[in-house]
Each structure stands twice: as structure tokens, then as C-alpha cells.
Amino acid sequence: MMDIGNSGNSENISPPPPSAQQPILQDAHINIPKRTSFLGIFINIIAGLPNLIFPMFAGIYGIQKIENIAIPFIIMGVILLTLLTYWLIWLRFTYICDEDEIRIESGIISRNIRTISYDRIQDVSIEQNLIAQILRLAQVKFETGSGKGDDAKLRFVTQKEADNLRNLVRRQKNAPYASSSHNNGERPADDIEMDAPQHIIFQMDDMRIIIFGFFQFSLIIFAVLAGAAQQFDFLLPFEIWDWKHWVQLFTGTDFNIEKYGFAARVFGALSAIFSLIFIGIITGITQTLLREYGYKLRLMGAGFRRTRGLMNKSDVIIAINKIQAAVITSGAIRKIWGWHGLKFISLAHDIGDDGKQASDHIAAPFAHLNEINAILAHTKIDTDSEGLTFHRTAHQSWWLGLLFIIPLPILGIAIASYISGAPIYWTYGFFIFAIATSYFSWTRTKWAMNDDFIYHQTGWWNQKFTILPQDNVQSISVVQGPIMKKLGLARIKFGIGGGYISIGHIDANKAYYMQHLLANRVAPVDFSKLNK
């Protein structure tokens, strides 16, 4: 199932790039305006169909009440105008690759010219949704680590063109260093050869993905159905939110809970709860399987290559020297079975488990610690924290957070109780849960530091263990609010490329000492050369 290390499982993915003696840019790419694939128009049209469902239903509903022979022709004209707009957008979108930069021009009337130099590009990722996979097309994303997500996208080019563009960016980024005399012809640290043997160091089979899905409980299906019901309830001949109507629809009789005994009521409540749990588990498994299908992490030279996805396939390269920190994640339940996750905080961005853009790269979403250690062994990050003294944050921190959580619910409950006259003893459980959660989270929040790394552990239910190399720290900030200043506490924030790591509620004198110590450590570091 797993193939850890260089056990001979290697793959040659693409043709070798030109050598240092060959021209860096081929005639097929240099200074020639190119367009994306014409078939991409149809993918964009299909992708936009969900936004047209509501207007289509509304139009059909309106046509039934209006007897006008011109209505069908108006609808046909709108469709043709939409197709013409998509064609003009494609026709006016071009990109040019020259020796120093990629230039992208778009816009039908008002032209938008975007220029990205090769040395600013931190990551080139390739994604394919289901239709693009069928048509052998791909979406290429360029990221510069500016914190604003994708700086540019090419939707959609052929798979071969996508691979050529990624190879081109890497060759051009490394061209100045390959030609430098002080390099003696050696490759730069982040020169990832696409033709190098690619050893699979981590992968997940279907069974592991399904097990992972059990821990990804989700009720998003109900949110989707509720949203659809809210949009199209006018098409139904009854009130969709009238639950008694649904019971009568399925049972054929009027529903009256009073005629059922206590045991039947308990059974009905438990059935509803277990139904929700079952649907949540199935939804989580489905989402996870679609996102993580075929998950493979390969080691290729000075970087990792991650491929995953069924409906939306992605191909991402993570340069090792661009990794700023490592985050090992787990949970209160899945940790019992020894399951953890590994993320890299990097200069580029990634798509997280929730489908939204994240500031870190997922390297191993569901793995054992020995598999995570095998991955980290190829980086400069050391997970060995034995012998270090871990410090807890100040004991005041567990109740300081409650000061901003408890007052508002207390006020709301008091107002509701005053208006309704209902007792509020049932709300005691909420306060007990909030206090217990805050306390257990505090017991799990610890930090330690040695000569090279900063270790930070947080969370009780969702656990995170962050390992930060001190050489990657670019700024150190000590923050104190009025309450924390009164208590002699402070929060220290370590700014790194791609985000920051914060340790809260520690002694203020210790925070300033850490700031002084790390400032002396990182001051001589030339960050312009650190990631070369």
C-alpha cells in the first residue's frame, strides 16, 4: 500500500529540458502571442450553467403566463449573445512568453495587460476538472506569493502546453544562476528537473481515503438543499418549510405527536439523529474521495510533486527551499488510531480541505508519524523535540478568551428568558462546555525553542504542532492589549513568507527577550538569497 523512500518506484514524467548549452527558450514559446484552447470556451459555458438555472426556471415560469410569439426568439437571442461574448473573450485573450516575463492580455474593449517576471513566480500549478480531463486540457495558475492568491490563470490550454509552460518558468527562473561563474555550472537549490526520477514517498489507496472520509464529517448537503429550496420554492404548490405537510405526504395521514408514546418519541428522535450522522459520514466520504483520489507525493530533485483529485485533478510542485514551516495536524479522535496530517507553510498557496484557498500546502493529509517523518527527512525541518522543555502559556489565558465569548450569550439568554418567562437552567450545559473546552485547549497549548527551531503546539479537538526554522523568521512583533498589559502578558508573532505564527499569553519580559534573541539571529540573514 505504501512505498516510503527510494525503493525503486520511479517515474519519468516528461521529456528532458534543454541543457545549459541549448537555447533556453524554444521558437515555439518566445515572443509569439498565443491563445488558449478553443475547446475551453465550452468548458467555461458548462461551468457557468449553474448560474443560469435560476433565470432559466424563472423564464420558463414567466413564459407560461405570457402569450407572446416573440418570447422564444428573445430567449434564442440571449443564448446567441452569450455564446458570442464567450467567443470574443477567448479571441481577445492572449499570452506571450519572452526571456524575462510572461505577459497576459485580456479584455474585449478595455484591454488589461498583466506582466509577471519569472523570478517572482513561486509556484506553477496545473488543475483539471472532469470535462478538462476528457478533453485533455488543463488550467495553469501562476502564483508569486503576494498573499492575493493566483496572480494569473490560463484557462484552458492543452496538457502538453501546460507542462511546457511549467518547464519554461523553471528554466527561466534558474537561467541567471546557471550561467553565473560563481556557481561553477551547478544547479540552483530550487532547480526541479521534471525529467528526474520521481520516487513516490507517500500515497493513499482508496481504503485509506474512505477511512479519512469518516473523520471528515459534513452536513453541507443540507445547506445545498436548503439554498436550492429557498430559490425555487415559488415553483412548488405548497409551503416547503411546513414539515407537517412532508409527514402527511409520506405517511398519508395527519401527524400528531401527542398520540405517540414516550418510547416511540425517543425512537423517532434517535432515528433522526442517527440519520443525520449517517448522511454526514456519507457526505464526508464522498467529498474526500473526490478530492483525494489517486493521492501521490513524489520526490523529484529539490522538490515534491503532488497529484490528487478525481473530478478536479491537480498537479502541484512544492520547492523544498520555499518551505517556511511545517505543521503536523491531528484530532482528539483520529489521534487515538495514530492518524495525523502534514502541511507546509510555503510562499505559494494551495487549495485546502474545505475547497478554499489556504496559505499552506498539504503534503500528507492522512498519515502515520513514521510516514510524516520520512517526508520531513527530505527537508531541513527536524521533528525531534525530545529533551526540550515545553512551556505552557500563562494560566490566565484559558479564562481570558471566555471574556469575549460568554457575555453576549448571557445577555441573549437573559433577554429571551425575560420575554418568554422560561427557565434558563438548561443553558448551564453551554457554560460548562465553553469553560471545559477553553481549559482543555489551554492544557494543550505549549511552546519550546532550541538553537534552530521554534516548536508550537495548540488545540484540543483540532490539534496542531508547528515547527518553524528560526532562519525563516523575517519579523518579530510583540503585541499587548490593555488587559494583557495589566497582567504582564504579551503575544509574540513571527512573520514568515506566506503568513505568520503566533504564541499568545506569555510573560511579557520573556517575549521581549525572545524578540531580542531572534533579532540577533536573523539580522545577518539575506532573505534575497535564502530561497535561491
Answer yes or no: is pLDDT of 241 > 90: no
What is the share, in percent, of the chain residues with pLDDT greater than 90?
Answer: 26
Instruction: Please count the CA atoms within 13 angstroms of the CA of 506 that sit on its side-chain side.
Output: 23
pLDDT for res 245: 63
Q: What is the 3-state secondary structure (H, E, C) of 458-515?
A: ECCCEEEEEEEEHHHCCEEEEECCHHHHHHCEEEEEEEECCEEEEEEEEEHHHHHHHH
Residue 353 pLDDT > 70:
no
Question: H or E element: which one contains 143?
Answer: strand 137-143
Q: Is 381 helix (H, G, I), strand (E, B) or coil?
A: coil
Find out whether 515 and 476 touch, Cβ atoms under 8 Å: yes
* Residue 179: pLDDT over 50: no
Q: Is the pLDDT of residue 4 over 50?
A: no
Cα angle value 352/357/362 (rounded, 5°): 35
For residues 124 and 316, give the distance between their C-alpha atoms in angstroms, rounded to a whole number: 7
Cis-peptide into 453, omega within 30 deg: no
Q: Distance between CA atoms of 88 and 108, rounded to whole angstroms?
A: 7
pLDDT digits (tens, 9 = 90+) for 113-129: 889 888 888 888 899 98
What residues are paired with 137 via a beta bridge?
158
Q: What one-letter code names the amino acid at 390? A: F
Check residues 432 and 154 and name the one with the higher pLDDT.
Answer: 154
Q: Which amino acid is at 37?
A: S
pLDDT attached to residue 255:
57
What amino acid is encoded at 130 in this protein? L
Statement: residue 210 has pLDDT above 90: yes
**95 band by pLDDT with thresholds 50, 70 and 90:** very high
Residue 374: pLDDT above 90?
A: yes
How buried is 484 (Cβ within 10 angstroms: 0-12 exposed, 13-18 middle, 19+ buried)? buried
CA pair distance 532, 524, nearest whole angstrom: 16
Beta-carbon contacts of 114 under 8 Å, excluding residues fewer than 6 positions away, are 103, 104, 105, 106, 151, 152
User: How far is it, in rounded angstroms, from Cα 137 to Cα 326?
Assistant: 33
- Contact present, 98 and 30 (Cβ < 8 Å): yes
Pick from 132, 136, 192: nearest CA to 160: 136
* pLDDT tens for each residue of 103-112: 999 988 888 9
Pairing, β 340-351 against β 357-367: antiparallel
For residue 35 the three cell numbers come to: 491563445
User: Among 137-146, 230-239, 294-303, where is mean pLDDT lowest?
Assistant: 230-239
* β-sheet with 323-331: strand ranges across: 357-367, 340-351, 323-331, 462-469, 453-458, 446-449, 391-392
Q: Which of 144-158, 361-375, 516-530 has the highest mean pLDDT?
A: 361-375
Overall average pLDDT of the 387-395 stretch: 86
Q: Higher-confidence residue: 73 or 507?
A: 507
Q: Report pLDDT for 328.
A: 95
Contact by Cβ (8 Å): 348, 145: yes
> pLDDT (tens digit, 9 = 90+) per residue, 43-86?
888 887 776 666 666 666 666 655 666 677 777 888 888 889 99
Residue 152 contacts residue 279 (beta carbons within 8 Å): no
pLDDT digits (tens, 9 = 90+) for 403-413: 777 777 777 77
Q: How many CB atoms lie within 10 A of CB 272?
A: 10
Residue 20 has pLDDT above 50, yes or no: no
- Across the chain, mean pLDDT equals 79
How many CB atoms sit inside 10 A of residue 454's CB?
A: 22
Whether 17 has a pLDDT exceeding 90, the answer reads no
Domain residue extents for the chain: 23-192, 220-291, 397-441
- Report which of residues 258 and 371 the model is more confident about: 371
pLDDT at 294: 93
Range in 13-22, 151-160, 369-378, 509-518 the model is least confident about: 13-22
What is the number of other CB atoms lying within 10 angstroms of the CB of residue 291? 25
Q: Which residue has the higher pLDDT, 35 or 227?
A: 35
For residue 434, name the pLDDT band (cuts at 50, 70, 90): confident
Q: Which of 144, 157, 70, 84 lies closest to 114, judged by CA?
A: 144
Output Rg (C-alpha) for the chain, integer angstroms. Answer: 28
